Amino acid sequence: MDALSDVLRVAPLTGGVFLHADLFAPWCIAARFAPEHCAPVLGPASDLIIYHYVVEGELRIKVDGEHGEGITLRAGDVALLARNDLHLMGSDLSLTPVAGGDVIQPPKDGGLFTVHHGGGGGRTQMICGFLGCASTQPNPVISTLPSLFTFNVAHGGAADWIRSTLQYGAAEVAAGRPGSETLLAKLSELLFLEAVRRYTETLPDGQTGWLAGLREPYVGRALALLHGDIARPWTVDDLGREVGLSRSSLAERFIRLIGVPPMHYLANWRMQIAGQKLRHTSASPGTSRRDSRLRLRGRLLRAFKKTFGSAPATWRRSNR
């Protein structure tokens, strides 16, 4: 089992809300969006991810409160804010920012939100995308990502089709053609996955977190095994034998990188599976053949109540 795909399957990204921005120097905007702002399209979302793709021109961006002049973005660059932190964007970040909500124009005839703002100077054109992630507990992928991550889709490999599709989507938006929102919604999901891959590839030695664990050979193998057979009554001894490490060595690596022991991680993940089942199906945790193999029905229900503070039936009524 591909552990990354499994995490994104259980806590899937949902369709985006998109904004097309034309900005003219000098300008500076402070932006942050709440899940309810996107509710008509996204539905319930516990996590909101934002990305900005620069089609033309350049700007500077930084998370509010951080020191320095920010990061320069140019055509082909993508900025991803995995936790929707308040951030500043502009031709000059020393300017007094306007609130993003004050300059966003609502869509016309079912189109996209738009921004047309600034002075009479150089033009910057952006597509801004939003993704919602409905999860019962913190998503291990999203929680590992930095507040602001930037990368370029102008050169090489998978970047070629991302760049060309984004450019095509930008042209569709500019032309107001039907279906452009759907096209960009699907693309944003692929763009997020590409951002996660890029970030994982560039992690420095000594980095900790779920993605760092995924890249480490032994912990990555352990994660794949746990996600590949969640129904198995795993022990740390079993897992150590499968990956070729002693129980203590595996536990030490797992705790150092993931932050919790292997069996603690597995228990948390089972709760996420249970929450997903309650949210999207009529079944209860512990009732499927998969669950009965675990012989976990009683323990699973007790653990669910301890984790979420209520019995599964009560939790479902308030979270569906």
Residues above pLDDT 90, as percent of the chain: 38
Which amino acid type is present at position 209? G
Dihedrals phi, psi of 260, to nearest 5 degrees? -140, 160
Bigger pLDDT: 317 or 209?
209
CB of 70 closer than 8 Å to CB of 88 = yes
Residue with the two structure tokens 């969006």:
33
Averaged pLDDT for residues 286-306: 54
pLDDT at 292: 46
Tens digits of residue pLDDT in 30-84:
999 766 666 666 666 667 889 898 989 999 999 998 888 899 999 989 999 988 8
Read off the pLDDT of residues 215-228 as tens digits, 9 standing for 90 and up.
999 999 999 999 99
Pairing of strands 28-31, 87-90: antiparallel
The tokens for 245 are 């490490």
d(CA 173, CA 181): 8
The count of other CB atoms within 10 Å of the CB of residue 218 is 18
Read off the pLDDT band of 188 (50, 70, 90): confident
Place of tokens 């609130």: 99
Q: Structure tokens of 146?
A: 């930095």
d(CA 218, CA 215): 9
Q: Which two tokens stand for residue 48?
A: 């909101």
- Contact criterion met (CB below 8 Å) for 23 and 117: yes
Per-residue confidence (pLDDT) for residue 246, from 0 to 100: 96
The per-residue pLDDT for 315 is 56
The mean pLDDT value of the chain amounts to: 81
pLDDT of residue 201: 85
Q: What is the pLDDT of residue 317?
A: 57
pLDDT at 294 exceeding the cut of 50 = no
pLDDT of residue 36: 60
Q: Report the predicted TM-score, pTM, of the whole model to 2 decimal places.
A: 0.77
Write out pLDDT tens, residues 139-160. Answer: 788 888 899 999 888 665 666 6
CA 177 to CA 204: how far, in whole Å?
A: 43
How far apart (Å, rounded) are the C-alpha atoms in residues 318 and 174? 41
Distances (CA, A) of 50 to 10, 108, 226, 271, 313: 20, 22, 30, 27, 33
Lowest mean pLDDT among 11-15, 71-75, 102-106, 191-195: 11-15
